[in-house]
A = this chain, B = another copy of it.
Amino acid sequence: MKHAVLGTGMVGTTIATKLVEKGHEVRMGSRDATSEKASAWAKKAGSRASQGSFADAAAFGEVVWNCTKGEGSLAALKAAGAANLKGKLLLDVSNPLDFSKGMPPSLFVSNTDSLGEQIQRAFPEAKVVKTLNTLNCVLMVEPGKLAGGDHDVFVCGNDAGAKERATAILKGDFGWKRVIDLGDVTQSRGTESWLALWIRLYGALGTGDFNLKIVR
């Protein structure tokens, strides 16, 4: 399958690399079509990897991943272009972290709204599925590294078919065993709010190599 990965940071490169390893064609998109980071990634990742502008990548992908920083996500997706997102599964991995008020970060949207919802409202014809924003990127694509994968990840979004496709990628490509469907895209408020606890656990535990398991 053809994937667009928007964002050249750790999350974007980790997800893009994993997708290439799993046999997908991946175009990494960045603000600057000649991004050095994206070029270096594409060169290293091999023949199924390419790079271009946000719009180049989004036009290429059948599936689009938003791996940009939360504060830049709406602008990045606008640059990608609504027409290039139309009808596509848009996997939103971003978090609305606000580092401007000191550490640990707060959220620039929360409680009665969420970044996932902002993105869905801004791009009503995209099929937004919020997922993987609840843990570090190494574990996103290698859940088996932790307790044999015996922990949870979430999906939420308004389109049932899009969530099924997202879940198939999570399970089939990344090896997730436990995927909880929380409901529509407003449930992003829940998974984005979890970051407020995640960052404090990161501080208390001294590592980001953890995840939550919902014990029933």
Which chain A residues have a beta carbon within 8 Å of chain B's beta carbons?
A: 101, 106-107, 110-112, 146-147, 150-151, 180-183, 187, 189-191, 193-201, 203-205, 207, 209-216
Ranked nearest first, the 4 interchain pairs of A and B with the lowest CB-CB distance are A193-B196, A190-B200, A190-B197, A151-B215
Is there an interface contact between B111 and A107, defined as CB atoms closer than 8 Å? yes
Residues of B within 8 A of A215 (CB): 146-147, 150-151, 210-213
Residues of B within 8 A of A187 (CB): 200, 204
Most chain B beta-carbon neighbours within 10 Å: one of A189, A193, A207, A210 = A193
Q: Which residue of B lies closest to A216 (CB)?
A: B210
Residues of B within 8 A of A190 (CB): 196-201
Separation of A191 and B200 alpha carbons in the complex (Å):
9
8 A-B pairs with C-beta separation under 8 A:
A110-B193, A111-B111, A146-B215, A151-B215, A180-B201, A181-B204, A182-B204, A194-B197
Closest partner residue, chain B, to A193 (CB atom): B196
A200's nearest neighbour on chain B, judged by CB, is B190
Tell me which residues across on chain B come within 8 A of A181, comparing CB atoms.
204
Residues of B close to A205: CB separation below 8 A: 180, 214, 216
The distance in angstroms between the C-alpha atoms of A215 and B135, with both chains bound, is 11
In whole angstroms, what is the CA distance A67 to B183 when docked? 30
State the CA gap A101–B204 with chains docked (Å): 33
Determine if B101 and A106 form an interchain contact, defined as CB atoms under 8 angstroms apart. no
